[in-house]
Chains A and B, each alone.
Chain A
Amino acid sequence: MNDWVSSLFNGNTLALIGAALAVFLAGTGSAKGVGIVGEAAAGLITEDPGKFGQALLLQALPGTQGIYGLLTAFVILNKIGIVGGTPVELTTQQGFLILASALPIAFVGLYSGIAQGRAAAAGVGIIAKRPEELAKGIMFAAMVETYAVLALLASILMVTGIKL
């Protein structure tokens, strides 16, 4: 029985699950957030097509979490040598360490992406009525992103700190 457990909880598998989680959860958050803003923006564009550029700017904001997730995954893949370099055989413990380090950006990315999408969608209302105040709408959404940035930082520091 130990056989299949050890082959399932193989270090490299765990590390890959970590990388996958980072992309999958943070990406889901961004997709949802960008979608929310897109819906609000489309409503505005039917009234005033000239504001497309401004609306697109707001829509881009919740997209960063997905990028942070991909970035973390890439750092992990780079670390274990799947991308660029020779693959490293990880112990189960090392695999869990890497899995743990992917969790901050995975979960914070998921929730902050959605929350940032809501804040940015509310910002679409600002450009509908007072387009000159776009920057303030951007700032409200950017306040949410702070936590995604912090989570990304934690994830990267954790991955780079693990000794293989």
Chain B
Amino acid sequence: MAIVEMSRITLIGLNRDKEMIMDALMKLGAIELADADEKLASEEWSSVTARDGDAEEVSSLENKLEKLRFSIEYLAKFDKRKKGLFENKRNLKERDLDAILADSPRLWSVVDSIISHDESLTALKNARNKKMGLIASLKPWESLDVPLQTTSTDSTVISIGVTPAASDAMSLLDELLEHAGECHAEIINQDKEQTYLLIIYHKASEQSVSEILKKFGFSRVTFKGLEGTPAENIKSAEKEIQDIDNQCFKIEGEVSSLVNEKASLEVLFDYTCIQRDKKKALHNILKTESAFFMEGWVPSASAGKVTKHITDMADCIVEIRKPDKDEEYPILLSNPSVVQPFEMITEMYSLPSSKGIDPNIFMAPFYFVFFGLMVSDAGYGILMACVTGILLLKFKFEGMLLKLMRLLFLGGISTFIWGVLFGGWFGNIADIFAGRQEAIPPLWFNPLNDPMRLLIWSMIFGAVHLFTGMALKAYMLVRDGKPLDALFDIGFWYIFLIGLPLMGFGGMAAVVGKYMALAGAILLVLTQGRNEKGIVRKLLSGVLSLYNVTGYLSDVLSYSRLLALGLATGVIATVINTVGTLFGFNVLGIIVLAAVFIGGHIFNILINALGAYVHASRLQYVEFFSKFYEGGGQSFRPFKRNTKYINLLND
């Protein structure tokens, strides 16, 4: 329960064993390699060693990975097998891996053929689009029976073209017949935008015809390189499209016959990924002619085992040492499994620094309580816990998603508990069916009837939360050998801050509270200026420090959101139920009720769970962490096999 202690590990080995040692380290997955930059910066090291690793090899592996990723995603589109929402990694024995690797030349040719199939499909699709465009432009001319390449005869000009719909095509025809003498003009087609015309006239009347045409906004249309009538052209283009479609279908068929290779390609992908990581890791290793040197971090608990494993295997020197006092080391958290989901909340803020403390175990109970209080409906809680519980049982989640699911599961339980305490079951649905108030009586009280009571409780929860944060700060101060600071900065504030609200109660408590607040204030005034010079400045900054009480006040008030969001869930649920029962309890009414009930409550759960998650996090980040937390740690990234599709099992 806390931050895992790390040791610095140094390893010097022979180049001939390097491959083997790297493999072993990767299998163990317990060491984070340190950057070699620091060592290389010193003359002493750079004069005798050089950086290992081959950037070109890494990038060629990256290239291969990119091709594999493309092929896998491409095949996934053709994969007709039913897919679940979440896919588990497959287990693979090393023996089976070797079999697949032996087959890799064939797999690479599969990859190449997928890529070339994709290229030809793209080319075909482009060609198809071109033909479609041609058909669209020829379609209006379909009834024209003059071949498109014929633009003139010995004595006539044959011209096709369009006029905008705004100009009157009929009067164009009239005018042509009137002024141009021997000529033939007809309307081939008409649509919303323009009129399509065929005009045949004598070459001699060129001048007058073009004047008239100009007047009506006629523009010539030519189809370069086309022969035959439009109808013929359309027909042949349609036939070509048909051919293209057939070809596409054939290629797609070929690709989908490769779907069965997807599983093997995934294995190849993961294997290549591991190779890439191994080559990349070499970048942080220093080498001489015959030996290599590496440094890194290893959890202290497993340092002995790692050392033994490596030294048994090869001739090498392994040295383990504790980190120096000021040396920051990578952070690995270790918490009981029930606290682990809450680590994601802390991780989103910042990992603790190696000099700080792991807040998760202290923060978890508060997060649990606050989340539930802000949703506080027993029905919603059961639903959330059941849905996430079933998902957790059915699928093997990993990493963040696993933590999130478990967080929602725990949140559901907390929501259920608070719902029972406050008597909320899908809002007031029981009341509506029973026809009376509080059909399911609350175990504690109904906050809608007495919001002030819950407001005070919210602030009490908040005060406990804040005091816990301050206690952690005191612990850190004592640990760092500053017990007096802990007493002055935390202890005296405790006295003052507990005294103040006590004054609000009557009787003995008020008297005790008065003296506590007074004593606390005097002690704070006397001690808070201790770092200043001169008695006047000491006193002045002591008095000013009392102003910080406003900070504590606003912190406590911030917890009123527990009440507000808790009420919001209940009231929205009531609105949903009221709207649902507007039609009464006949057949139609029941259908409406079911629809509104299901849709409305699911919406309410989603929006309120999001709100509860966000605001419970905020209370941790802004109110709690600000009291003590030291963040800024780097997470522990061990050198290991990172896979996407498979788990490699040892034989």
Contacts and interface: CB of A to CB of B under 8 A. Distances in A.
**Which of B452, B614, B617, B618 has the most A CB atoms < 10 Å from its CB?**
B614
B455 interface: yes
A142 B615 contact: yes
Contact of A68 (B560, B568, B575, B618): B568
Contacts, number: 67
B452 A146 contact: no
A153 B565 CA distance: 9
A71 B572 contact: yes
Contacts of A83: 578
B446 to A, nearest CB: 12
Nearest to B614: A142
How many interface residues does chain B have, given as a range? 20 to 34
Contacts of B567: 71, 156
Contact of B611 (A64, A135, A156, A160): A64
Given A63-B607, A67-B607, A149 B614 contact: no
Interface in B525-579: 557-558, 560-561, 563-565, 567-568, 571-572, 574-575, 578
A105 to B, nearest CB: 10
A61 B606 CA distance: 12
Contact of B572 (A67, A143, A146, A149): A67
Contacts of B588: none
Contacts of B455: 153, 157
A143 B618 contact: yes
A108 interface: no
Contact of B618 (A63, A142, A157, A160): A142
Interface residues of A, number: 28
A156 B615 CA distance: 19
Interface in B595-651: 607, 610-611, 614-615, 617-618, 621-622
A124 interface: no
**Which of A63, A136, A142, A145 has the most B CB atoms < 10 Å from its CB?**
A142
**A interface: dominant SS:** helix
B568 A67 contact: yes
A64 B613 CA distance: 14
B504 interface: no
B560 A150 contact: yes
Contacts of B557: 150
Interface in A31-65: 57, 60-61, 63-64
B2 to A, nearest CB: 23
Interface in A141-164: 142-143, 145-146, 149-150, 152-153, 156-157, 160
A143 B622 CA distance: 9
B217 interface: no
Interface string B444-457: 00000001100100
B564 A149 contact: yes
A9 interface: no
A40 to B, nearest CB: 19
B618 A156 contact: no
12 contacts: A63-B607, A68-B568, A71-B575, A138-B614, A142-B614, A143-B618, A145-B615, A149-B561, A150-B557, A150-B561, A150-B564, A160-B451
Interface of A: 57, 60-61, 63-64, 67-68, 70-71, 74-75, 83-84, 135-136, 138-139, 142-143, 145-146, 149-150, 152-153, 156-157, 160
Interface of B: 348, 451-452, 455, 557-558, 560-561, 563-565, 567-568, 571-572, 574-575, 578, 607, 610-611, 614-615, 617-618, 621-622
